[in-house]
Structure formats: structure tokens, C-alpha cells
Chains A and B, each alone.
Chain A
Amino acid sequence: MAVCIAVVAKENYPLYIRSVPSDSELKFHYTVHTSLDVVEEKVSAVGKVIVDQRELYLGLLYPTEDYKVYGYVTNSKVKFVIVVDSSNTSLRDNEIRSMFRKLHNSFTDVMCNPFYNPGDPIQSKVFDSMVSSMMVQTC
């Protein structure tokens, strides 16, 4: 389903990033990093122009030739970014939404782990396997 999943901290450094074709890892890092500007833009627009749109899910951030980038921001300003292959047209908005929800749930569990230090890279195995499950569904 997804080719790259990233969790970015409040201060815009990556907490977790994983991509499926591991040879083009750098490219995905770059893609995710670029997307943060769009996230920023969408978040700051909220409350000014459109009051109703206060959902955590930000929707499609931007499409590129090969990939679509989706974003999600939690109330604690942690960003989730999912990159999906453009060729995969069967993927609907609802499914992306549910993927983000799953990601968020898993992230909350990580945050509530007393041994986890907020702001550290995520090393949880449960989180890892959850992310893998979202990636495997594609292939």
C-alpha cells in the first residue's frame, strides 16, 4: 500500500522513517522533508480562512509524477506522512484515513510506554510491525 511511512516530531526532525524499496531511501527522506512545508501551510490556514476544517487528517499534500503524499498532524504537532505509489489507483481516501488512524493509535501506545522518552527515535517493535503490515499489503 504505502511505499514510505514517516513520523516527524514537533520540531521537524524525524522520529521514524521507513520506506519499502530501500535503495531509494534518500529520495523518500527528501520527499518527506519537502512535504513539511505543505503541512505547515495547511495547519496555519486552519482557524483563519476555513473554521470548520479542523480535522487531524490533512488529505493529499501533493502529487508527484510517481508518488502521492498524504499528511496527518496530531494535536501534539507530531506529523505523519505516508507516501503512496501513484500507479496504485485503487486506494481510496477512506483507506488512507484508516491507515493514519492506525498509525496514530500505535503512536499513542508508544507515547504511553514509560520507558520511551518523548522526542527520541521510535524503536518499538510493535510499532515497527504495524508499519510493516501497512507496507506489505501492497506487494
Chain B
Amino acid sequence: MADEALFQFLHNELIQYVYKSSEQGEMENARCITKLENMGFRVGQGLIERFTKDTARFKDELDVMKFICKDFWTSVFKKQIDNLRTNHQGIYVLQDNKFRLLSQLSAGKQYLEHAPKYLAFTCGLVRGGLANLGVKSIVTAEVSVMPACKFQVMIQKV
């Protein structure tokens, strides 16, 4: 569908733009990731405000994470998270076996090193969404086999 493609192309351009507008180097890579992550954060904040407008109040943290995995993910990526795991101590692992922003890339090892760029925005998206729901967190992502990826959410206790 066309509307899905729009977001994907815009996201690709976003990455291109952020990386091009800074000089090359190891230091800069981290800064670009941060930039993309921050963009995602603001988008996530706005999105969650929209999505949770008509839902009932959440009971607890797990309820919030379920919402992220089901409704939030479906609205943004047209599919649910495939696997949600938690240690019940504030760490959640969200696994997506066919992450949409990576699905257009080669499934082999060729672009593996570029994958983190494509996940930064989404990490911010999740973090922003959670932050707006009153859950402070750190979100990281990892890829081992190409279109599958894992997001680790660490809830910060106050």
C-alpha cells in the first residue's frame, strides 16, 4: 500500500540526511544515532497521545508494554510484536521476526553493519511513547539475523 511506502521512504531519507549533514567518523556515528533517536522520541510522544485517547487506563507496566506490542506496533508497522519476554524486574525484550524497516534490505550479512541506523528512530519511538505514559526507560536494539530484531526496554526505577 502506498501509505506504508511513504513512511519507509521518508525514514530512509531521514537517515540519509542525518548522516550526510555530519562529517564521517566513529564519533559522528554515535551522534547521528542520538539525533535519530531524539526525533523518534518526539514522534512517539505525539503518537501515544493519539493512540491512547480512547483506551481505558492502564493497570500496570505490563499492561503498557502489551499495548506497545499490540496496538502501537500494529498502527505503526502493520503487525504485532512476535514475542514479548520479561524478567518481571523491569526488563522487557520485544522481538520482531520481520521488522518492516529492515525487510527491504538484504536478508544476508551484507548490510548488517548498517542495520543500527535503521533501528535508532524506532528505539526513540518506543522510548517516547513510554515516557509519555509515565514509564522512564532506556531502549536499545540488536540485530543478529537480518529482518529479525530485538528491542530491549529497560525500565528505570525512580
Closest A residue to B132 by CB, please name it.
Answer: A76
Known contacts A108-B50, A112-B50: A54-B59 contact under CB 8 Å? yes
Q: How many residues of B contact A (CB 8 A)?
A: 17
Q: Is B30's beta carbon under 8 Å from chain A?
A: no
* Chain B, 7-31, CB within 8 A of any chain A CB: none
Q: Are A54 and B49 in contact (CB under 8 A)?
A: no
Question: How many angstroms between the C-alpha atoms of A116 and B50 in the bound complex?
Answer: 15
Question: How many angstroms between the C-alpha atoms of A77 and B45 in the bound complex?
Answer: 13
Q: Are B52 and A118 in contact (CB under 8 A)?
A: no
Question: How many angstroms between the C-alpha atoms of A51 and B59 in the bound complex?
Answer: 9
Q: Which one of B42, B60, B133 lies within 8 Å of A75 (CB-CB)?
A: B133
Closest B residue to A112 by CB, please name it.
Answer: B46
* Chain B, 126-158, CB within 8 A of any chain A CB: 132-134
Q: Are B45 and A105 in contact (CB under 8 A)?
A: no
Q: Is A36's beta carbon under 8 Å from chain B?
A: no
Q: Are A47 and B52 in contact (CB under 8 A)?
A: no
Q: Is B114's beta carbon under 8 Å from chain A?
A: no
Q: Is B48's beta carbon under 8 Å from chain A?
A: yes
Known contacts A47-B60, A55-B57, A56-B57: A76-B46 contact under CB 8 Å? no
